[in-house]
Amino acid sequence: MKNMFDLTDKKAIITGAGNGIGKAIAEALFNAGAEICMLDISDNLENITKEIDNDSSKIHFVKVNLANRKDLKLGFETALNKLKRIDILVNCAGTQKRHPSEDFPIEDWDLVIELNLTTVFSMCQLAGREMIKQGHGKIINIASMLSFFGGFTVPAYAASKGGVAQLTKTLTNEWGSKGIQINAIAPGWIQTYLTKALVGNPDREPAILSRTPANRWGKPEDLKGIAVFLASSASDFINGAIIPVDGGYLAK
């Protein structure tokens, strides 16, 4: 029986691949056989490609400021030129700003919404045009626990991740009949730079861990399996899903 999770000869673009979840997913797709292009603002992308595989012609990177709309379009076009085709898009780039809502600076609001939501739409639109022409494609957006509830001191992040969930469903309604599957992964409390303010925080960490049946912080590597699944033919009849990977957090 053919391995339904095999990504050999597939072409994937991953945003936010410079660290954390994006880096883990890029590695997972490559190890499953895909040729990948990583988009990030990081200066460390060349070293990351060597960490994944020191001698592969199937790993590419483009340094790009995705919060700049002209830069984003150029970055996508550069990645597409390197890959020649796009079968898989993973939207993982994001940021976080924490302030009490009454004091939340509008500049921080604009940055979070731009990078976490508008960038996702723009990348989906650019990739979707290519996927519609070829009649197939997989889009994986990174949602959040805050796609389901509001959080504290993160109004922009919560709004952006709620938007990612609804965008995922909307694109499914429009593109599902065109051979494209658009789904989102909603990570639980994963230990990355976005959650560093919470790890060890005496006011927040006990509440997070006590509600997580797995009784631990998640790791970026915990997202590898679901990403390969959603990128592969094993998920061909899954569309518009917001899938929690949260150690059971939403079960309580």
Rounded distance, CA 227 to CA 236, Å? Answer: 13
Radius of gyration of the chain (CA): 17
Which tokens sit at 246? 């949260």
Alpha helices in the chain (DSSP H): 20-31, 45-52, 69-83, 106-113, 119-134, 155-175, 205-211, 224-231
Contact 83/105 with Cβ under 8 angstroms? no
Rounded distance, CA 247 to CA 98, Å? Answer: 24
Positive or negative CA dihedral for 7, 128, 157, 106? positive
Candidates 148, 157, 217, 249; catalytic one: 157
Residues 6+ apart with CB under 8 A from 140: 25, 88, 89, 90, 91, 183, 184, 185, 227, 230, 231
| Catalytic site includes residue 193 | no
Pairing of strands 180-187, 59-63: unpaired
Question: What's the chain's length in residues?
Answer: 252
Catalytic residue positions, numbered: 157
